[in-house]
Structure 1
Amino acid sequence: MLLLAKLQVKPTLIEEIKSKKPLDITLFPHIKQIEQGKIKDFTSNDKGAFCFQGRFCVPKDEELRQTILREA
Structure 2
Amino acid sequence: PFFKGYRPQFYFRTTDVTGSCELPEGVEMVMPGDNVKMKVSLIHPIAMEDGLRFAIREGGRTVGAGVVSKVIE
Fold shared by both chains (TM-score > 0.5): no
TM-score when normalising by structure 1 = 0.24
Indicate the structure with greater helix content: 1
Indicate the structure with greater strand content: 2
